[in-house]
Amino acid sequence: MNQEPDYVNLDPRVEPVAYALPRNPTTRRTARLMQQIWKYRLAYLFISPAIAVVLIFIGYPVIDSLILSLDRWDGLGKSTFIGLDNYRAMFSNTSGLLDSLRITVIFTACTTLGTATLGFFLAVAIAERVRGWRFFRIVNFIPVLLPMTVVGVLWGMLLDPTNGAVNTVISSLGFSPPLWLASPSTALWTIILVSIWQYTGFPMIVFLAAIEGIPLELYEAARMDGANGWQRLRYITWPLVQGVALVLVMLQVIFGMRTFDVAWAMTQGGPGTATTLLGVKLYQSAFLYSDYGYGSTVAVAMIVIIGTIAFVYLRLVRPLVATT
Amino acid sequence: MSLAHFKTIGVRIAIYVPLIAWAALVLMPLLFLYNNSLKTSEQVFLSPWSLPTELQWTNFAQLFDGGGDATSFATYLENSFIVTIASLVAVGVIASMAAYALARFPFPGARFVQVLFILALAMPITALLIPIYSLMNGLQLLSSYVGIVAVYTGLWMPFSILLLRAYYDSMPRELEDAARVDGCSDIGVFIRIVLPISKGGLASVTIVNAVGIWSELLFAFILLSDPNMQTINVGLLAFKTQYQVQWNLLFAAMALSVTPLLLLYALFQRQITKGMTLGAFR
């Protein structure tokens, strides 16, 4: 019954013109595909500039990183093929890459957890519609918009150990203030705090939209059943924003793993290697030590790690969220 | 309109405390910035928290003056505006066309293209720096508007397309179909129906992109080595290392970088938060 017709109409507006299709199944399929492509030629025309720029500025660099990672290249002369030497160097104990990875993971985990938790509670508080909630929503989002350079320089000054405004206050209260960026043991935590300061507004605004999307009847019903505020938060709000929370965490993890600016603007990776995130490591290898091959190896490591996270997100987390 | 998890007075006060604390933490550095941008260098150093005795507008004049071997901040600002606006136009045109194609035409390969954009979005842009640098070097496009605008157009493309596509998907098609019945071509439908209806979505995407592109540091830093071509945030870093003692000027320079963003936010607060939220839900 479902036999394919021997012709297709290319254009529904041109009524009875039919195009004969070949009888052979393979050529028939190809012909059908060609007809489809011809039918949607405008769509291809519309999408080709976008594909072109994405292939040139994202696709090609990814492949070129793979190739460069097998080379030694100082950025000026000819590159020489050295096989897997860069990878061997990367996994050796002296390269500092594992240390960089550890720093990046700590940075990412703490900023993700910090921004998501704070953002959630700020969103809950604003959704309560307390007096001035609009003000809080607008103001708390501002840091997200600020350039990291400005944020880095500004907090760097405020947190200056000797004459920074923060430590002046702390010591006037009689406490001994931390050295913040100046000490290897606190520098990483300082840039984590600054990042949390900057990015908490993003989860806040997303959680807020999710909470505002919850039907008020649910809360009314729960109130009738005698659920108190905490219970309503725990058993209505939280389960209904869990999916959004998962998406946010994945996004923040992806952003966190590729961070460069905050460390560069505040510490340039130091003191020592205390804040050498993977992004900083890549930058240093290539543009400070002119070892573009090794820098590309770090790039490949980043692509693999973040690609894996993104794959897990798209394949496992998103379908999960979509079904709940 | 209150969700009212909590009604008791004590708990409601407890809600205010973190809100006020966080707002103060957000506003304090900003006030610090603007306040110090209008003081003399000594005042900044000796009493960073006091109000200026006399407003030092000359700080800004000095920045614009450049003077000596320093690049004028007027140049930096101009570069930032040119690069940001040109990138936004390029991204807006190319992304809206691509998103329209994806949202309305089930062409062969559409799913593949969609996956390509999602993959591209997940790529760590930091990792693309070296090949893009050598590509731009090879094309002689270092320290040029064309070069940096092309790079930004590519890097911001996946995000913009996916967001706009989500927006088009949520738009009713009846008007487009009606126009087609009336004999309007697909291109005509796009220009006369789709673009006007979707201008809210396009505005959201453009403004979110504006914030990101204005603030972009890494690529601007690497691709724009000529001080006369640098954007304001690159200039700011250079200024910080060169003139570390002139605190007041550094604050004024930061005010110049931040103010356009705050103005944009003041004008388009809804679109910005909407655009970013849409991005997360997509």
Q: Which ipTM score applies to this complex?
A: 0.86
A172 touches chain B (CB under 8 A): no
Average pLDDT over residues B117-134: 86
A and B: number of Cβ contacts within 8 A:
297
Least reliable range by pLDDT among A84-93, A97-106, A110-119: A84-93
- In order of A155, A282, A300, the CA distances from A277 in angstroms are 19, 9, 15
A140 touches chain B (CB under 8 A): yes
Higher-confidence position of B63 and B38: B38
Contact A22, A31 (CB under 8 A): yes
DSSP-derived letter for residue A8 is E
Beta bridge partners of A19: A8
pLDDT on residue B83:
97
What are the counts of helices (DSSP H) followed by strands (DSSP E) for chain B? 14, 0
Closest alpha carbon within chain A to B250? A153
Q: Which residue has the tokens 């396009």?
A: B202
Query: From the CA of A185, how many Å to the nearest CA of chain B?
Result: 24
Residues A159, A192: Cα–Cα separation, whole Å: 13
One-letter amino acid at B145 equals Y
pLDDT on residue B263:
92
Closest alpha carbon within chain B to A65? B131
Average pLDDT over residues B169-188: 86
Q: Residue B66 — very low, low, confident or very high, per pLDDT cuts 50/70/90?
A: low
**Residue B50 predicted with pLDDT over 60:** yes
pLDDT tens digits, one per residue of A186-216: 999 999 999 999 999 989 998 998 888 888 8
- In order of A22, A114, A139, A152, B260, the CA distances from A135 in angstroms are 68, 22, 6, 25, 20
pLDDT tens digits, one per residue of B214-252: 999 889 999 998 988 999 988 888 887 776 667 888 888
- Does domain B74-281 fall under CATH 2.30.40.10? My reply is no
Which tokens in the block code for residue B83? 């690069």
Residues B137, B146: Cα–Cα separation, whole Å: 13
Residues B42, B245: Cα–Cα separation, whole Å: 10
Least reliable range by pLDDT among A33-47, A70-84, A227-241: A70-84
> Which residue from A252, A226, A232, A247 is spatially nearest to A112, judged by alpha carbons?
A252
Residues B151, A174: Cα–Cα separation, whole Å: 51
- Percent of chain B, pLDDT > 90? 34
Cβ separation B124–A56 shorter than 8 A: no
| Cα B63 off chain centre by | 23
For the whole model, what pTM was predicted? 0.85
**All structural domains of chain A:** 1-39 (no CATH), 97-275 (1.10.3720.10)
pLDDT on residue A1:
45
**Residue B11 predicted with pLDDT over 80:** no
Chain A neighbors of B124, CB-CB under 8 A: 254, 257-258, 279, 299, 302-303, 306
Residue A84: phi and psi, rounded to 5, are: -95, 15
Residues A59, A187: Cα–Cα separation, whole Å: 35
Higher-confidence position of A286 and A45: A45
Give the range with max mean pLDDT: A302-306, B79-83, B229-233. B79-83
**Residue B139 predicted with pLDDT over 90:** yes
| DSSP-derived pairing of the beta strands A7-8 and A19-20 | antiparallel
A187 touches chain B (CB under 8 A): no
A171 touches chain B (CB under 8 A): no
Residues B127, A260: Cα–Cα separation, whole Å: 10
End-to-end CA distance of chain B: 27
Average pLDDT over residues A246-259: 85
pLDDT on residue A242:
85
